[in-house]
Amino acid sequence: MTPTLSDRIQQFYDASSGLWEQVWGEHMHHGYYGADGQRRCDRHQAQVDLIEELLTWSQPQSATQILDVGCGIGGSSLYLAEKFQASVTGITLSPVQANRATARAQEAGLTSQVQFKVADAMQMPFTDQSFDLVWSLESGEHMPDKTQFLQECSRVLKPGGTLIVATWCHRSRTPPQPPLTPQEHQLLSQLYRIYHLPYIISLSDYAEIAQCLPFHQVRTADWSAAVAPFWDEVMTSALNPSVIWKILTAGWSTLQGALALRLMSAGYRQGLIRYGLLCATK
């Protein structure tokens, strides 16, 4: 039977998350290198800086009950739980990630505050108005229906709660911007196949969707320049022989993911891939 998109995402993260953690640590998202991307710092510090900059930019009103949608191995979940003394729930499609995130919460002594579940963001197993902050770092690009994704985020948010999404987008196609070219479509198709993305949209598309849902104060920002150095940093660190060996032995999908690092880097350089932020209040 042909695996579904969810199966493929699950298998991809089940297979690659151990390697990612060993080589690059607990955060599976871009780093922040200053607004113009010129600040030089350690890659891990840049990833923590991204979380802090996002919080500064979005100014959530409260953060006591947090949902981390597409939580990976709980990098953000544990960080936010400690920072805000909050109760955090993380969801992922990958049982390997959920188990590792739970073990990390135990190691950090945070099990009374933090829990992880294997669950689908398209149909979240939570009652309406359960959280005051919904946080999604680089999972929106995997969602097969962006409207349903944001609708679910809105449903589980309490009135007055904040949604923060950071996600891979493509450039705007709104005139005077031209439509995407065949070459751009081709690069996107390769990224979709390798990273198991159904499709990505522009940042203004996200804003339009959010404006039609029960949100107000919808804001967006394009942080492509701030995060662009990230993929070159990951590529440089992947050239270490011990890392190359780990990638080769981690399986075909992980190897493809590593080989596609240069595609992401090219996508940024061409202005096709954009790093979009969306913040909204319910």
Ligand X SMILES: C[S@@+](CC[C@H](N)C(=O)[O-])C[C@H]1O[C@@H](n2cnc3c(N)ncnc32)[C@H](O)[C@@H]1O
Q: Please report how close the Cβ of residue 175 comes to ligand X at its closest, in angstroms.
A: 32
Q: Please report how close the Cβ of residue 27 comes to ligand X at its closest, in angstroms.
A: 5
Near ligand X by CB under 6 A, which window of 35-43, 116-124, 209-217, 236-244?
Answer: 116-124
168, 173, 169, 137: which is closest to 153 by C-alpha? 137
Q: Which of 81, 96, 105, 121 binds ligand X (CB under 6 A)?
A: 121
Near ligand X by CB under 6 A, which window of 115-123, 184-192, 247-255, 264-272?
Answer: 115-123
Near ligand X by CB under 6 A, which window of 55-63, 65-73, 247-255, 266-274?
Answer: 65-73
Check binding of 97 to ligand X (CB under 6 A): yes
Near ligand X by CB under 6 A, which window of 22-30, 37-45, 228-236, 244-252?
Answer: 22-30
Six-digit token string for 276: 């979009």
Give strand pairing partners of 88: 66, 114
C-alpha dihedral sign at 22, 89, 113, 163: positive
Name the 3-class secondary structure at 153.
helix
Please report, as residue ranges, which positions from 135 to 164 form the binding site for ligand X (by CB under 6 A). Answer: 137-139, 142-143
How many helices and strands, by DSSP H and E, does the chain display? Answer: 12, 7
Check binding of 92 to ligand X (CB under 6 A): yes
Q: Which of 8, 14, 41, 120 binds ligand X (CB under 6 A)?
A: 120
Q: Which is nearer to ligand X, 143 or 203 (CB)?
A: 143
Size of the site for ligand X (CB under 6 A): 23
Q: Please report how close the Cβ of residue 7 comes to ligand X at its closest, in angstroms.
A: 11
Q: Which is nearer to ligand X, 148 or 172 (CB)?
A: 148
CB 275 within 8 A of CB 168: yes
160 to each of 9, 60, 155, 164, how far by Cα in Å?
Answer: 32, 9, 12, 13
C-alpha dihedral sign at 14, 15, 21, 26: negative
CB atoms within 10 A of CB 59: 9
Q: Please report how close the Cβ of residue 149 comes to ligand X at its closest, in angstroms.
A: 8
Check binding of 94 to ligand X (CB under 6 A): yes
40, 79, 26: which is closest to 233 by C-alpha? 40
Name the 3-class secondary structure at 282.
coil
**Residue ranges in contact with ligand X by CB under 6 A:** 9, 13, 27-29, 70-72, 75-76, 91-94, 97, 120-122, 137-139, 142-143
